[in-house]
Structure 1
Amino acid sequence: MSDDAGDSKFTLTHLTEGGHAHMVDVGEKAVTSRRAVARARVRMQPETFVKLAAGDTPKGDVLAAARIAGIQAAKKTSELIPLCHGIQLTRVEVSIVLDGGIAVIDATAEARDRTGVEMEAMVAASTAALTLYDMVKAIDRGMTFDVCLVQKSGGKSGDWRREGEP
């Protein structure tokens, strides 16, 4: 298949020759240590941030619930994302820092496996952000969040880090 930019070739790994989606075979790949960090930034009204920081929200310990939800979600990633492989996670950590009116959620996923853990980290960060939203939406329905991969290591493609992130 050639792209519109010229004669270069590329392969769509999650499609069969007939154009059907399928799970990629990773059986022959080497088992290596893999790590990924994803970040969600939850933006809210200043009054909401103050209540969250003070622990003065109607549904209890929002940050603890969000951390636990993120960890649980990482373990369920292959059930949520259709073509993801089940991975034997060795570690998942979700930390939340309240900084300048924003809740910054970092989710780290680690495994020794044949495929990466980027999706597990992204699902953990996303679910933690959604849980935070759910628990304070009565105060602020206008909250928004974004999620990105911050870094990954391991596997054939090696290490990668988003520019501008610590």
Structure 2
Amino acid sequence: MSDEPSELTHTTPEGDAQMVDVGAKPDSARRAVARGTIRLRDSTVDAIREDDIEKGDVLTTARLGAIGAVKHTWETIPLCHGIPITNVETDFAIDDDRVTLTVAVETTGKTGCEMEALQGVTTGLNIVWDMTKAAEKDRDGQYPDTEIEGVRVVAKEKREL
């Protein structure tokens, strides 16, 4: 991590929020990978593995939701550019007490796709939570064992065309 402060590009000289002008930048091939985890009860993870959740196929639904979120990121993050998504890959890893989702996004354009990858991960994990919440609630309707954690960009690539 650089110790040098970076120039603020999302504000005007007066301090008002603005979208960054990327019009003069050359197109490049870009790829970003994000990952996050949802902790669940062991019994809930077993039910996901066995496709035994009342609402349906958790991982297929989460995969479709993650891809849709990637494609619509610009609509939910105010200063994010709408970019042409050329590929989205989703991968689930299932352990005893958690599901980890990795989302890789590719684009060719003037700006990166980190926010799209992060949006895919957070939406996908929120869908897992939504689809399993009946199994995760305790007697008081709370979620003492359910937690989304570790959401981060794990890789970012940029190459000239």
Give the match's secondary structure for 1:139.
helix
Residue correspondences, number: 150
* Matching residue of 2:56: 60
% identical equivalent positions: 39
Q: Select 1:118's aligned residue among 114, 122, 138.
A: 114
* Matching residue of 2:37: 41
* Kept in 1: contact 2:42–2:96 (CA 8 A): no
- Alpha-carbon separation, structure 1, partners of 2:65 and 2:43: 24
* Kept in 2: contact 1:108–1:121 (CA 8 A): yes
* Matching residue of 1:161: none
Deviation at 1:109, TM superposition (A): 0.4
- Alpha-carbon separation, structure 2, partners of 1:11 and 1:117: 20
Gaps of 5+ in 2: 138-142
Q: Which amino acid aligns with 2:111?
A: T
Q: List per-residue Cα deviations over 1:121-145 (Å, max 9, x = no partner).
A: 0000110000010001011042111
Q: Which amino acid aligns with 1:140?
A: E
Closer/same/farther in 2, CA of residues 111 and 138 from structure 1, 3 Å limit: same
Within a 5 Å distance, the mapping from 1:76-87 to structure 2 comes to 76-87=72-83
Give the ranges of 4+ consecutive aligned residues of structure 1 lying more than 6 Å apart after TM superposition.
none
Closer/same/farther in 2, CA of residues 155 and 15 from structure 1, 3 Å limit: farther
- Alpha-carbon separation, structure 2, partners of 1:39 and 1:126: 9
Gaps of 5+ in 1: 157-166
- Alpha-carbon separation, structure 2, partners of 1:56 and 1:106: 23
Q: Which amino acid aligns with 1:56?
A: D
Deviation at 1:155, TM superposition (A): 6.0
What TM-score does the superposition give when structure 1 sets the normalisation length? Answer: 0.86
1:28 maps to 2:31: no
What TM-score does the superposition give when structure 2 sets the normalisation length? Answer: 0.88
Deviation at 1:48, TM superposition (A): 1.1
Q: Which amino acid aligns with 2:147?
A: T
1:98 maps to 2:94: yes
Q: Greater shift after overlay, 143-152 or 123-132?
A: 143-152
- Alpha-carbon separation, structure 1, partners of 2:5 and 2:88: 37
Higher relative contact order (CA 8 A, sep 6+): 2
1:153 maps to 2:157: yes
* Kept in 2: contact 1:38–1:151 (CA 8 A): yes
* Kept in 1: contact 2:118–2:153 (CA 8 A): yes
- Alpha-carbon separation, structure 2, partners of 1:36 and 1:73: 15
